[in-house]
Structure 1
Amino acid sequence: MPPSDPPPPLHRATTMEKGAFSHATCVCGWRGPARRARDRARRDATEHEQG
């Protein structure tokens, strides 16, 4: 039986705040740019999770 491919990396993104800025981070190590608009940081996280 041939070895199976490893599972794809898990993506679970959240947003973090620091002062007036928010940014998205993921358990895979990815980090989005700092944003003043929280909704844009959340959108960055969603787009990253969707690949």
Structure 2
Amino acid sequence: MATSPKQKPGKSGTNSKQTSPKVASDAAHVLNDPKATPDEKSAAASALAQARPS
């Protein structure tokens, strides 16, 4: 049976890093690009999920 990795004390397990506004804008363009691949769209969606709400 595998065990999950232990978190450091005081860490909630959430990522406090956020996507910059420039990267978020680029990601939005990728999502609107009909020629973007599913992998590109997945990465763009992930970046937007980590962006600050405006």
Q: Indicate the TM-score class for this superposition, using the shorter chain for normalisation.
A: 0.3 to 0.5
If you compute each CA radius of gyration, which structure gives the higher value, 1 or 2?
2
Report the TM-score when normalising by structure 2. Answer: 0.32
Determine which structure has the larger helix proportion and give its number: 2
Q: TM-score, normalised by structure 1?
A: 0.33
The answer to which structure, 1 or 2, has the higher relative contact order (CA under 8 A, 6+ apart) is 2
Q: Higher strand fraction: Structure 1 or Structure 2?
A: 1
